[in-house]
Each structure stands twice: as C-alpha cells, then as structure tokens.
Amino acid sequence: MTTSENERNAVPGDAHSPLGVPIDALQGGGADLPQYAGRVVLVVNVASKCGLTPQYAGLERLHERYAARGFTVLGVPCNQFMGQEPGSAGEIADFCSATYGVTFPMTEKVDVNGEERHPLYDRLVGHADAEGHTGDVRWNFEKFLIGRDGRVAGRFSPRTEPEAAELVAAVEGLLEA
C-alpha cells in the first residue's frame, strides 16, 4: 500500500491520520487534534492579507451551521504565499475575531509546502482533489476534509468557496455517514 493509500485508510489515533499530528494552537499550547476524532474536520490554510481572505466569513458560517452535528473548521495560518500572513499569533487572532467573528479553532502558523512543511500537511497533500491534483498546496485557503473515521475524504481548491454546493454536499455526506 502506498503512503497516500495508508493516509486515506487511517483512523483516529493511527500513525497516519492527520488528527494524530502534534501541532500548537494559535495562542500557544497544544491544539490537541485527537479531540476531533469522531468529528468531520475541514482543515484550511488561511491568510489575513489575501484576495481570498473574505472566505473566513463563509468558513465561520459553515462552522456555526454544522458544529452541533459534529463538524469543525480548523484554520492553519501560513505565510508562504507572497507573505500574506505576516502577523504574530496575537495579530492573527485579533484580525480573525474583529473582522470575521471567527470562533473556529486556529493552529500556530506553519509551512504547508517545502522542506519545512508541517507534518500535518505531509499527511494531507497526498490526497487528490476533483481535478486529480495532489502534492503541494497551491495557494491560501486550500481545503482538506477529514471524515469521522480520520481519513482524508476530500480536497478542494483555494477558489472553492466554503459554502459552495460541492463542499457543503461533501460535509453533509460525511455528517450523515
């Protein structure tokens, strides 16, 4: 079985599950990803100074709409795309809260590509999107959907709006499974 097949077949607590990766929370301390085992999680690399930044509003609405049914958006700040997330943890948190009312959890700022790619993204990028793209994250706001079983169930391009029909259908399908 290839690494990407292992990742797709991972379960929470499995060494290949994205939810088993240690990562810090935006404001410090561990983000405790295993707490999301059994939930549907949308992992999104985010940035505050990007043309796609208004997607924060849709991400928050999606989070609020489905949280009670076992869904979580997880924002992962990244400054690798034209320096569009230059702020400190406090600045990022303040911006997200004040500008978009973000209540979903956020992790520390990490690299999603290259030699310093965070292990969370090592476990995500092998999954193909609808067009067959695998590998490096293409831009801010690329989305990875993880099912209740801890498997990567979908990948969506940065331009896919959080409330796009195909993304909402995928979330609802996993919540009903």
How would you write the chain as a 3-class SS string? CCHHHHHHCCCCCCCCCHHHCCCEECCCCECCHHHHCCCEEEEEEECCCCCCCCHHHHHHHHHHHHHHHCEEEEEEECCCCCCCCCCCHHHHHHHHHHHHCCCCCEECCCECCCCCECHHHHCCCCCCCCCCCCCCCCCCCCEEEECCCCCEEEEECCCCCCCCHHHHHHHHHHHHC
For 63-76, how does the pLDDT look when each residue is reduced to its tens digit (9 = 90+)?
Answer: 999 999 999 999 99
Average pLDDT over residues 74-86: 98
For 101-139, how does the pLDDT look when each residue is reduced to its tens digit (9 = 90+)?
Answer: 999 999 999 999 999 999 999 999 999 999 999 999 999
Percent of the chain with pLDDT over 70: 92
Q: Point out the residues that are catalytic.
A: 50
Q: What is the pLDDT of residue 177?
A: 85
User: Which residues does residue 144 pair with via DSSP β-bridges, in sequence order?
Assistant: 43, 155
Q: Which CATH architecture has domain 3-176?
A: 3-Layer(aba) Sandwich (3.40)
Q: What is the pLDDT of residue 28?
A: 92
Give the chain's length.
177
